């Protein structure tokens, strides 16, 4: 855990040095900052203005609330209750859990099933970071894959219930909960009257407005092979969200092969083309989904797919270190 905290802190400091460079602060511009370890990552919120402290504390209350609802490792969380009832009964859930599952399934259909919120059995089987160098066999994967299928999830919009029809099915909101919580935190900041802020939740970044000096927020994209390196820089002008998925965030090495925590839910195995995908857009919860899906799809298919989503852009870092951007970022990435 300490290693993950350190890596997240380095990434944020690298980004913060970029967003604040050249900005002379007056007393009115001084930020209120807080950082906490929640949702298995370091979350840092920086806000400006007279209501900054109030907004930041309310933002963290949202992170804590979402964590309590969506933590599949807490047997008392709502998502655990849904998993425990798989194959036996429907479970009424909070509006936020319902919204996350519904949005995940809707986007999964558009993203060719490369993101699947029912991936829980695969996550459990691989146990990246929890089982040492364990690599599941093809037979083990074949036994689990029938349990991974978002199309099987029964979503009752009238009664707000979820039902997993097969015993052993498990929802895992790790690919949406953090981004969704960021969006909720941003809403709290805005409700408090904050006009300038930056939220960083372990690589999911969303901003409010511009920097106190009126310039756009300028964010660095971490080099996936250099924990303290920046491989690209982007000004969030016209966008407010940057979200990265990479094979460097949680992984194991065995026989010089990297096995990351991102799986292709259709095969149960890790994609082998990408090192990282960074989304530039205006929705953190969807950014979480897109970065995972595009990591699985690879550059060529992703560039075709993005034509269907105006305003959604991506920066790809391939395994050999090439940086490729979607057309909408032409001339906007350093």
- Interval 236-277: pLDDT, tens: 999 999 999 999 988 999 999 999 999 999 999 999 999 999
pLDDT of residue 28: 52
Q: Between 267 and 5, whose confidence is greater?
A: 267
Take residue 161 and report the two structure tokens written for it. Answer: 């219930």
| Distances in whole angstroms, Cα of residue 300 to Cα of each of 245, 255, 273, 308, 320 | 17, 29, 11, 14, 15
Closest CA to 4 of 287, 264, 208, 201: 201
Q: Do strands 323-325 and 257-260 pair parallel, antiparallel, or not at all (unpaired)? A: unpaired
141-185 per-position pLDDT tens digit: 999 999 999 999 999 999 999 999 999 999 999 999 999 999 999
Closest CA to 169 of 69, 88, 270: 88
pLDDT of residue 271: 94
What is the set of domains in the chain, with CATH numbers? Answer: 2-68+187-329 (3.10.520.10), 69-175 (1.10.3980.10)
pLDDT of residue 202: 87
pLDDT score of 27 more than 50: no
The neighbouring-strand residues paired with 219 are: 234
The neighbouring-strand residues paired with 244 are: 278
pLDDT of residue 13: 36
145, 116 contact by CB (below 8 A)? no
pLDDT score of 326 more than 50: yes
277, 315 contact by CB (below 8 A)? yes
Q: Give 306's DSSP letter.
A: G
Torsion of CA 63, 35, 222, 235, to 10 degrees: 80
Cα angle vertex 251, ends 41, 66, to 5°? 30
pLDDT score of 10 more than 70: no
List the beta strands (DSSP E) in the chain. 32-38, 41-48, 91-92, 154-156, 161-163, 196-201, 204-208, 218-222, 230-235, 241-246, 251-254, 257-260, 274-281, 313-318, 323-325
pLDDT of residue 29: 67
pLDDT score of 115 more than 70: yes
Closest CA to 243 of 115, 125, 123: 115
When pLDDT is cut at 50, 70 and 90, the band that residue 1 belongs to is: very low
Residue 82's H or E segment, with its range, is helix 78-84
172, 72 contact by CB (below 8 A)? yes
Closest CA to 92 of 169, 165, 163, 173: 163
H and E: helices and strands count for the chain? 9, 15
Burial class (CB in 10 A: 0-12, 13-18, 19+), 273: middle
47-101 per-position pLDDT tens digit: 999 999 999 999 999 999 999 999 999 999 999 999 999 999 999 999 999 999 9
pLDDT of residue 227: 85
Take residue 188 and report the two structure tokens written for it. Answer: 């709290």
Quick check: helix, strand or coil at residue 249? coil
Task: Report the percent of the chain where pLDDT is more than 90.
Answer: 88
Q: What is the pTM of this model?
A: 0.90
Neighbour tally for 72: CB within 10 Å: 20
CA distance 127 to 116: 17
CA distance 57 to 65: 12
Average pLDDT for 209-230: 93
279-313 per-position pLDDT tens digit: 999 999 999 999 999 999 999 999 999 999 999 99
- The full length of the chain comes to 334
Take residue 155 and report the two structure tokens written for it. Answer: 């979503």
């Amino acid at each position: 855990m300490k290693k993950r905290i350190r890596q997240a802190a380095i990434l944020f400091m690298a980004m913060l040095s970029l967003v604040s460079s050249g900005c002379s602060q007056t007393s009115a511009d001084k930020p209120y900052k807080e950082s906490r370890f929640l949702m298995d990552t370091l979350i840092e919120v920086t806000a400006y203005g007279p209501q900054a402290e109030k907004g930041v504390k309310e933002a963290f209350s949202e992170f804590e609330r979402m964590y309590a609802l969506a933590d599949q490792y807490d047997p008392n969380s709502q998502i655990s209750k849904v998993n425990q009832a798989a194959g036996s009964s429907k479970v009424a859930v909070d509006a936020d859990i319902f919204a996350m599952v519904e949005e995940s399934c809707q986007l999964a259909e558009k993203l060719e099933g490369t993101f699947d919120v029912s991936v829980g059995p695969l996550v459990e089987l691989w146990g990246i970071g929890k089982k040492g160098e364990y690599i599941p066999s093809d037979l083990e994967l074949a036994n689990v894959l029938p349990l991974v299928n978002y199309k099987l999830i029964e979503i009752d919009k009238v009664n707000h219930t979820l039902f997993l029809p097969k015993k052993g099915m498990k929802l895992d909101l790790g690919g949406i909960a953090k981004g969704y919580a960021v969006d909720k935190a941003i809403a709290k900041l805005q409700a408090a009257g904050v006009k300038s802020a930056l939220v960083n939740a372990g690589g999911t970044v969303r901003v409010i407005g511009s920097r106190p000096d009126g310039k756009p927020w300028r964010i660095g994209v971490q080099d996936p092979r250099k924990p303290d390196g920046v491989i690209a820089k982007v000004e969030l002008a016209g966008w407010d969200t940057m979200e990265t998925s990479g094979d460097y965030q949680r992984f194991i090495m065995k026989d010089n092969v990297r096995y990351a925590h991102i799986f292709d839910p259709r095969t149960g195995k890790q994609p082998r083309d990408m090192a990282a995908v960074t989304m530039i857009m205006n929705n953190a919860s969807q950014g979480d989904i897109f970065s995972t899906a595009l990591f699985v799809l690879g550059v060529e298919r992703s560039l075709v797919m993005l034509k269907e989503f105006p305003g959604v852009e991506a920066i790809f870092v391939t395994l050999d270190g090439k940086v490729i951007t979607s057309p909408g970022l032409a001339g906007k990435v350093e």
